[in-house]
Amino acid sequence: MKLNFSTFILCLCFQTIANAQTIKGDFIDNTTFPVGRIGVTVQHIISTINANDKKTIKEFIENSFAEDFQNMVPMEMHQGHFLNYYRQTGGVTFYSIRTYGDDEQQGTVLIVKDRNYDSWRKIRFSFVDKSGLLLQGIGFSPAEIPIDILETKISSSELVAKTRKTVEKLSNLDLFSGSILIAKGSDILYQDAKGEASKRFHVKNNLETKFNLGSMNKMFTSVAILQLVERNLIALEDPVSKYVDETWLPTEITSKINIHHLLSHTSGLGSYFNEDFWNGSRALFRNINDFKPLVKEDSLAFEPGEEYRYSNTGMLLLGVIIQEATKQDYFEYVASNIFRPTHMFNTNSYEMDQPVENLAIGYEPADNAYGWINNLYKHVIKGGPAGGGFSTVGDLHKFAVALVNEKLVSKKLLDMLWTDHSNEGYGYGFEINQSASGKVVGHSGGFPGLNANLDIFLDNGYVVVVMSNYDGAASPLAKNVYHLINRLSK
C-alpha cells in the first residue's frame, strides 16, 4: 500500500558508481554551471520542469528521449509526472551535479532545491550511449541535505519557527491539508492543522481529525506479532503453514515461508492490490478472510529469504497468524493490546461507509470543474494488517512514546523491530534510516488521496508526525523537518 509520490522512478538506468565529478553553482545566476552536453541537458530538464506547460514537456520528451522511454507510458502520463512534480515543488533551482560513467554510458545525479519546501531533491538521468544525444530515462526522488547546509546549525526554537513558516506557506498555496506534530519525547513543541477534512461541506481539519495511515498499519501489525513472540505464542522461525491453511495459499508455498520472512518483506510474495481488486467492488473486502480471493493466485517471486520485496500480502498474512495464534479477531487484538493501553482513542480501521466522526476524506488534484477528486472509490472500505486504517498526529505521538519507553514490547524485541533485516533499510514493519542525528525509525504511508509519515529519532528523542488528506503532501514536509532536526545544535 506504499505509493509515495515523492519517490516515483520512471526508469532505473544507472551503472555502478565509478569516479564522481562534482560541479556546484546557482542556475538562476548561471554561475559555475556545468558545460557541454551535461550542462545543456540539465538546463533543458530544469527549464522543462519550471515551464509547467504540457507543450514544452511534450517537445522535451519527443526530442530528448529514446523511443523506448517515450513508449513506456502514454505521453499524457509523462506530462502528468512533470506537471505533478512542478505542483509539488513550485519549480526548482540548480544546486550541484554528480556524473558517473564508463566508456559507453554516463549517468548523472542532479541536486536541486525546490521552491515550495526549500528542500533538496535528486533528479537522475542517463544517456543511451556516449554520444549523449538521447536520454535513456529520468527519475525524481528526495535528496539528503548537502554537507555545507547540514553544518549550519539551528536551535529547537528555530526548528519550530521554520516549520511553522513552511506549513503556513504550503497551506496558503493549497499544497498541504492535514496536521503536523513535533515533539521532544513526551513534550509537544509544535502542532497544527490546516485545510479541510471535507471539501463538499467545507469542514476544517483539526488536531483530532482522523487521517488515513496508508501502510503505517504495518507498524501495529509487527508490534502485535512481537508481543506474541514475547508471550511464547508464536516463534519467528515458525512456518506460515502452521497458521495459514490452503484456503489462502498452497502448503508448498506457505511451508517455505516463516514469520521472519513476512515481517522483513523477504517472503517472495507480492501484493493483493491486483487486477481483481481494482476491478471489484470495495465492499467485498471488509474483513481479513474477504481477501482470500485476491491472495490465492499469488506465487513466489524468489525463494524466501533470498531478496527483499515489499509485500502487502505478507503483512496481511501476519494478521491471519495473529487471529490463529490468539483465537481473537485481528482488529480486536490490536485495539486491546496497542490502541487502548496507549490511549490511542482516535485510531482504528474505520469502515468508510459508516458515519465516523471527524474523519478526513482523501483528495487528488483533478482536471475538472472543482480541481479535485476524492478517493472514496479507490481506497479499501476498511483497513487491515497491511494498511488503510486511520489515526491522528496525537495518537501516533502516543504510540511512539509508548514504544520507546518499552510499554508495548521489551527492549530486546524493540531492537529486533529496528534492525535492518534486509539491507534495504527495513526492519520488522519499520523503515530504518541512519541520519546525522542518529538512528531514525518509523513508517510512511501513501495511496491516491492520502499520505502520512512517522519519524522517531531514537538518539535525540524527537518525534515527527505528518498526516495529510492530499496525495503526496505529507512526505516532503516530513523530509523538510527531518533535515531541520539533523541541523540542530547539540
Q: Is the pLDDT of residue 21 over 60?
A: no
CA distance 392 to 217: 13
Closest CA to 34 of 89, 99, 92, 91: 99
C-alpha cell at 342: 496507549
- 212-227: buried (b, 16+ CB within 10 Å) or exposed (e) per residue? bbbbbbbbbbbbbbbb
**265-305 confidence digits (pLDDT tens):** 999 999 988 787 878 887 778 899 998 999 998 999 999 99
Residues 6+ apart with CB under 8 A from 73: none
Average pLDDT for 107-134: 89
Q: How many angstroms separate the Cα of 352 from the Cα of each of 140, 340, 359, 466? A: 33, 22, 9, 22
Q: CA angle, corner 425, sides to 423 and 431, nearest 5? A: 150
Q: Which residue has the cell 519525547?
A: 185
- 3-state SS assignment for residue 325: helix
Beta-carbon count within 10 A of 450 CB? 33
For residue 220, pLDDT beyond 70:
yes
Pairing outcome for strands 106-114 and 120-127: antiparallel
Q: How far apart are CA 39 and CA 31, in angstroms?
A: 12
Q: In angstroms, how far is CA 15 from the centroid of its own chain?
A: 26
Determine the topology of domain 5-143 in CATH.
Nuclear Transport Factor 2; Chain: A, (3.10.450)
Neighbouring C-beta atoms of residue 281, cutoff 10 Å: 9
Instruction: Give 409's contacts (C-beta < 8 A, 6+ positions apart).
Output: 223, 226, 227, 230, 403, 417
Confidence at residue 170, expressed as pLDDT on a 0 to 100 scale: 97
pLDDT at residue number 490: 78
Three-class secondary structure of residue 150 per DSSP: helix
Candidates 490, 482, 453; CA nearest to 159 is: 482
The rounded radius of gyration (Å) of the Cα atoms in the chain is 23
Q: Is 80 exposed, middle or buried (0-12, 13-18, 19+ CB in 10 A)?
A: middle
Query: With 50 as the cut, is the pLDDT of residue 15 above it?
Result: no
Q: Which residue has the cell 507543450?
A: 55
| Tens-digit pLDDT profile for residues 94-106 | 998 887 655 445 5
How far is Cα 200 from Cα 362, in angstroms, rounded to an integer? 12
**Looking at residue 239, what DSSP letter applies?**
B
Rounded Cα gap, residues 468 and 395, in angstroms = 15
Read off the C-alpha cell for 282: 470495495
Bigger pLDDT: 223 vs 25: 223
Report the alpha-carbon distance of residue 38 to residue 377 in Å, rounded.
44
Asked if the model's pLDDT at residue 200 lies above 80, the reply is yes
Residue spans of the domains in the chain: they are 5-143, 152-490
Q: Has residue 31 got a pLDDT over 80?
A: no
CB 138 within 8 A of CB 52: no
Convert the pLDDT of each residue in 138-189 to its tens digit: 999 999 888 889 999 999 999 999 999 999 999 999 999 999 999 999 999 9
Residue in 415, 490, 489, 487 with CA at minimum distance from that of residue 119: 487
Q: Mean pLDDT, the chain, as a whole number?
A: 90
Q: What is the DSSP letter of 258?
A: B
383 touches 349 (CB < 8 A): yes
User: Spelled out in words, what is the top-level CATH class assigned to the domain 152-490?
Assistant: alpha beta
CB 481 within 8 A of CB 182: yes
Using an 8 Å Cβ cutoff, are 459 and 384 in contact? no
Confidence grade of residue 129 (pLDDT, cut at 50, 70, 90) = confident
pLDDT at position 339, please?
A: 98
Closest CA to 260 of 444, 413, 434: 413
pLDDT value at position 9?
Answer: 33
Separation of alpha carbons 132 and 41, rounded Å: 9
**Average pLDDT for 5-12:** 34
User: Looking at 360-461, which runs of residues are DSSP E strands?
Assistant: 363-365, 372-374, 390-391, 431-435, 438-447, 450-457
Between 52 and 26, the more confident residue is 52
Instruction: Please report the pLDDT score of residue 106 as a whole number.
Output: 57
Q: How far apart are CA 234 and CA 30, in angstroms?
A: 62
